[in-house]
Structure 1
């Protein structure tokens, strides 16, 4: 059976399953070049069908759609991609404050007027958004988009006449939590499956128990786990974009050391929410999430707020997780949903004595809902499901014509292809020599990673032992915030050299934070957190990605360091690069000098050729 999974909300995506195996998954933003694209994922569907079905969509047996309630505003107005911090603040002042404080009607007029006036329109959304001109209620718009428009769009654009099913938001997160990574053989019998996020289909958390047959039985759920929502508004209060920059708050939290001041801020969050005796408790609940929270945090310093919200979020989530572990007598947990994107929390949760083993699959936000929908449909159809082994599920070079040619990307950057030279037969040893000599190497090789984390195939790589590489990448290529850490990709068999991992959990997707050894503070100084020296590592397996493993192994032979600094291949504000043309454009518009391409090719800027050749010859 062939199943197509679709997500039509924040960071839209599509996934394809053949006979219980996920063979492809990709986010729409990679094709529209608009970060966090909200859309009917037409381009993603076409890419998957072309790559895996020979362009014949009639081979599909079933289409599975993630979430019963699609946000009609986000499809029409680009709140997730184009809203600035000021736009979000104005939205709270002009729309939500009157609703919460002046008894105004929550009718969506603010966004409807914006749509009629042609302001902040969502581009490349892939469907007709003129429903925004109707006089129906927001509930009516939600029902129309969710139950009619997305299915009608599928049938119109692709002439698909087969069955379409819609699955619950948190059930899809739960199926992804269970099947989104390969479970170790030691895990037998019942496993606790937890999900948590800001909101979806009327809830923000769920608890399931899986049996030996892989079926999920729901044992709990609710709408009172408001941690993710509070964290989102703290992001805005600190002057960063909600629904995108929460990871920056997480990164900032690693710097504060002022327990006297952070404890006072944690007390504020504890008044908002704690978890006690099996229930969420709010001694002093928020009236709403922005103005009330902002007033309570007034006068507290930014780093103390970041530390406190991170610590509070982990503690509340940990107490909730411990309750369900005790209730089910399980010592193993699978975790997904937007809150599972907090890598630092995941590491602290793993350290709980109540947990023997923990799985956090790649990119558990709503983008993975399309994969979860495939799993949900497969369970319903009685299919035998194969858990995901790797996140290399995206675009494979060669499907997109011109966009898979580097000349196309260079020209898109208004550059001349004659300014570049393509070197042949550059093996892993050659790239490793460049890296060992502190040349920063971009790599666009093999299938693209699914999700938010670059896992080596669409990555910018550097020597992790030279702290100067932090500044080089930040200033000349990525323009990242100075406090944000990079990531080490470490050979799986050598992770004990650098990570404190007493439970021997394998983390191939960069989803769990770890404390590090003294050797890591030397060998990986540019790839660990500058404040607390923690790491959000990728365990690189020779079985899963032999080419990337070979590169790191070759670097180890030269430097005795079995790891590389890894960050995503893109310019600031762009999605992770997809095609060779995307990568060549990034090369052209940045201070990068070299780009590794499929077939052991290396694209080099001519003004860097002499340096590159001298390193090869040394």
Structure 2
């Protein structure tokens, strides 16, 4: 049985669509996955293909990629599984439509089936669509990936249908819901509200988690803890609304500069918020473990991405085994929805149990195609000959260089696990700041993860007693005190690290690279962070990797068996390129105030004011198709350098796409943007 699971909203495209104004948090993290007999074949988030972070658009690109990866036709798909119930989706969309002044003419089944049919160009039987309750999708994803015969399953996020935390029992491939907690005590909403009060944006909860270790939790835990009460029957009360009053009284609202007294107060508040989250989840798990007497536990839902909390649970010593799904967010529920339908329809069918691998995304093209794409950027980068990319990359990292590393199939989920990674030496503490500020272009307090060879883990880190799935970078563990100085770039301020354990069987290429680095330095650890800057999702294809390489301070680029270095100035390369607006950006307004500024908007929240009148005119008239940068510059002789600088900044922030002059018939474009996918799969040139 072939089942496609998917998540996301009803809008088919970002513009010219009835639902284009739906808020970014409306069914966010669109994704698609395909399974066969409960075994995942392929899964990818829509953002990796559309390049729009956290997109909530209908996952047309991801669904088409899934079908092609399975090597089947659309007519061979037995079921499509959506990650929310039909009645809930219908009511929520009706409310949003009313707010936006949109006339909702049909039910969500018809809307989704219309989008599926549009994506594949054929009519699909509407009875093939199944709806799965949200927390059931999350529960199925994590329990069935764990391979545990029996388990307590905890799903915790902002909101499912009408619940925020659910308890399930997993029993030999089947999940049964035991209890659910109401939305009024939502831990996801509690943490999101705290994130907003601290001056961060949507989807920035991980920043609060990274900030918390700089604070003293007990300083503000007293007033924060008064919001919470655990009851003898296993329920709890959490007064989320009063959190704003507490934040105001403590003077922690808004942003502050690191090192100031105001920043320290914010860190203390973040620490108290993190501590209360941990207290609530541990109270709930302890109560249900005592009641159900299950020795294994599985976690999923957006809150389960809090790896600090996960590390504490793994250290409780009341569970023998713990599994946290590496795609615990709503993208992972796309895979879970498919798995849930399969488990319900194949209860008696025995399926081979295999360890879960998150390397489910599209793979890179053949080396010849990669080399052509790199060579098309002559003047900005060139291929460096090397006999062994693993030895070459390990050499460069040992010399203090920061490299981009892309290999094989991409990871499904928010963590880069060695196939789409930025890698560095974990020993010099200055690498922490260098990568944060010059490459990732993000806050200096944000930590990085160590990727360690499995055979050396115990020498550097203190093992967690509950046998966690450490290979997926979803747990924080303590760095051994005698190793903290050695691992200066990956040890957080409190002596912990979000560790990834690398085994030879799970990722032989990444294991080989770290082993090569160990052979040269004696250190079996690499600094590992996702291959992107703060403006876009993790790199998916060769073009994504090249853009990040050329617009950051990365020293070298490794894509499959190819090594590349920068060879020239971008200020001289840019005039030879052509440019156009990306699908994720558009000119919102052209105004005559001083006759020279415009505003670009891109989902979900980035914006930039343009100061070049010539660039404004170009984007207004030709933004939707490629045109030569040289022609634009020739019309702006007076501010040529400023114009080139602005083109570079817009390219770095992914508002525009640049294509090198030496490309042939669009070969240098992103493989997905140009219609060339993996294994011969062709995507359309637009999503409409």
Q: Report the TM-score when normalising by structure 1.
A: 0.80
Report if aligned partners of 1:66, 1:166 keep a CA contact under 8 Å in 2. yes
Structure 2 gaps of 5+ residues are 9-26, 254-264, 570-688
Shift of 1:312: 0.5
Q: 1:72 to 1:538 in 2, by over 3 A?
A: farther
Describe the superposition over 1:426-445 as per-residue Cα deviations: whole angstroms up to 9, x where unpaired.
33122111111111111111
For 2:85, the equivalent position in structure 1 comes to: 68
Shift of 1:417: 5.3
Q: Does 1:527 align with 2:490?
A: yes
SS across alignment from 2:383: strand
Shift of 1:210: 1.7
SS across alignment from 2:164: strand
Task: Work out the CA distance in 1 between the residues paired with 2:447 and 2:375.
Answer: 29
Alignment of 1:354-393 (within 5 A): 354-382=318-346, 383-385=349-351, 386=353, 388-393=355-360
Q: Does 1:232 align with 2:192?
A: yes
Describe the superposition over 1:385-438 as per-residue Cα deviations: whole angstroms up to 9, x where unpaired.
545521100011139x99x74765897xxx655642343533312211111111
Q: Does 1:6 align with 2:6?
A: yes
Q: 1:202 to 1:148 in 2, by over 3 A?
A: farther
SS across alignment from 1:198: coil
Report which structure shows greater RCO (CA 8 Å, sep ≥6).
Answer: 1
For 2:296, the equivalent position in structure 1 comes to: 332
| Greater CA drift, 292-301 or 310-319 | 292-301
For 2:213, the equivalent position in structure 1 comes to: 254
For 2:116, the equivalent position in structure 1 comes to: 154
Task: Work out the CA distance in 2 between the residues paired with 1:462 and 1:72.
Answer: 48
For 1:497, the equivalent position in structure 2 comes to: 459
Q: 1:217 to 1:389 in 2, by over 3 A?
A: same
Match of 1:509 among 455, 465, 472: 472
Q: 1:302 to 1:441 in 2, by over 3 A?
A: same
**RMSD of equivalent CA atoms:** 2.7
Q: 1:602 to 1:459 in 2, by over 3 A?
A: same
Q: Does 1:42 align with 2:9?
A: no
Task: Work out the CA distance in 1 between the residues paired with 2:481 and 2:234.
Answer: 40
Alignment of 1:71-470 (within 5 A): 112=100, 132-134=101-103, 146-158=108-120, 159=122, 160-161=124-125, 163-183=128-148, 190-211=150-171, 213-223=172-182, 224-242=184-202, 244-257=203-216, 262-263=217-218, 265-282=220-237, 285-286=239-240, 288=241, 291-292=244-245, 294-295=247-248, 297-298=250-251, 301-382=265-346, 383-385=349-351, 386=353, 388-398=355-365, 405=370, 416=378, 419-470=381-432
Task: Work out the CA distance in 2 between the residues paired with 1:52 and 1:109.
Answer: 36
Shift of 1:523: 2.8
Task: Work out the CA distance in 2 between the residues paired with 1:207 and 1:308.
Answer: 25
SS across alignment from 1:454: coil
SS across alignment from 2:327: coil
Report if aligned partners of 2:224, 2:243 keep a CA contact under 8 Å in 1. no
Q: Does 1:603 align with 2:564?
A: yes
For 1:569, the equivalent position in structure 2 comes to: 531
Report if aligned partners of 1:409, 1:585 keep a CA contact under 8 Å in 2. no
Describe the superposition over 1:87-117 as per-residue Cα deviations: whole angstroms up to 9, x where unpaired.
xxxxxxxxxxxxxxxxxxx9658951xxxxx
Structure 1 gaps of 5+ residues are 76-105, 113-131, 609-618
Describe the superposition over 1:123-167 as per-residue Cα deviations: whole angstroms up to 9, x where unpaired.
xxxxxxxxx522x6xxxx9xx564331123213432233611110
Task: Work out the CA distance in 2 between the residues paired with 1:463 and 1:379.
Answer: 44
Q: 1:474 to 1:299 in 2, by over 3 A?
A: closer
SS across alignment from 1:523: coil
Q: 1:63 to 1:502 in 2, by over 3 A?
A: closer
Q: 1:410 to 1:280 in 2, by over 3 A?
A: farther
Match of 2:34 among 6, 12, 16: 16
Shift of 1:206: 1.0
Report if aligned partners of 1:441, 1:461 keep a CA contact under 8 Å in 2. yes
Q: 1:148 to 1:273 in 2, by over 3 A?
A: farther
SS across alignment from 1:199: coil
Q: 1:410 to 1:12 in 2, by over 3 A?
A: farther
Shift of 1:269: 2.6
Report if aligned partners of 1:2, 1:61 keep a CA contact under 8 Å in 2. yes
Task: Work out the CA distance in 2 between the residues paired with 1:153 and 1:427.
Answer: 43
Shift of 1:519: 3.8
Report if aligned partners of 1:62, 1:164 keep a CA contact under 8 Å in 2. yes
For 2:667, the equivalent position in structure 1 comes to: none
Q: 1:592 to 1:487 in 2, by over 3 A?
A: same
Shift of 1:540: 0.6
Describe the superposition over 1:39-95 as per-residue Cα deviations: whole angstroms up to 9, x where unpaired.
1100011122223226x22221211111126768999xxxxxxxxxxxxxxxxxxxx
| Greater CA drift, 383-392 or 193-202 | 383-392
Shift of 1:521: 0.5
Task: Work out the CA distance in 1 between the residues paired with 2:405 and 2:252.
Answer: 45
Report if aligned partners of 1:410, 1:585 keep a CA contact under 8 Å in 2. no
Report if aligned partners of 2:141, 2:339 keep a CA contact under 8 Å in 1. yes
Report if aligned partners of 1:22, 1:388 keep a CA contact under 8 Å in 2. no
